[in-house]
Amino acid sequence: MIRSIRTTIFNSSCYKKAAEKTYKVQQKLFNVLPEKCFINKKFNDSFERIGKEISSAENRLILGITALMSQPFIDGHNKDVDEKTRKVSVARTVAKIIAGTATGYLIRKGCIKAVKNWSEIPKPGIKKIKTLFTPKGAKSVSTDAYEQYHNAMGTITALIAMMITNFAIDAPLTKFLTNRFIGAQGGENETSK
């Protein structure tokens, strides 16, 4: 039934005209944007260096700091809600950012370090755990590609770990911090209701 309704809508002349107009507007906006090619070698080298040196852990830290500087301000100036709700909203936002950034950074950094420690080139006398993440055919650990492999594989393992830690660490820590921040403002805790 839903499929037939959807087909009817998509085949209607009104929908087709609207889609065509929308596409034309999108294309005009896209055509206005200039194509820019950065040919400054120093600029390109800086981007390349930053891309190689900043892992997902540092990226998470940068995002968290940026969020901490902007989101509480937005919640604190929301005139659509009363003063008490604003204070609770700011406290909850700050708690979420701190908990998410701290656990996200630490787990990513830990997983990257674990992958680095457990991806040695197989040699006689090296424990099997030390080669757990070693890619097949790896010859040397000193290459840039191998370093980027550590960051990528560490990030993947961290994402898997964070499926659990979001519930096991982030949520309780957020609630704890929110209650602390609300208590510091002289308000009622979430658990005291």
Q: What is the mean pLDDT of residues 163-189?
A: 89
Compute φ and ψ for 119, nearest 5 degrees: -135, 50
Strands (E) in the chain, as ranges, are none
- Interval 113-127: pLDDT, tens: 999 999 888 888 888
Q: Please report the pLDDT score of residue 91 as a whole number.
A: 94
Please give the pLDDT value at position 180.
93
Under 8 Å CB-to-CB from 167, ≥6 apart: which residues? Answer: none
Judged against a pLDDT cut of 90, whether residue 73 lies above it is answered with yes
Nearest to 180 by CA among 190, 167, 170, 168: 190
Judged against a pLDDT cut of 60, whether residue 143 lies above it is answered with: yes
Residue 137's Cβ-side half-sphere holds a number of Cα atoms within 13 Å equal to 1
- Distance CA(189)–CA(181), nearest Å, equals 9
pTM: 0.71
Output the pLDDT for position 190: 56
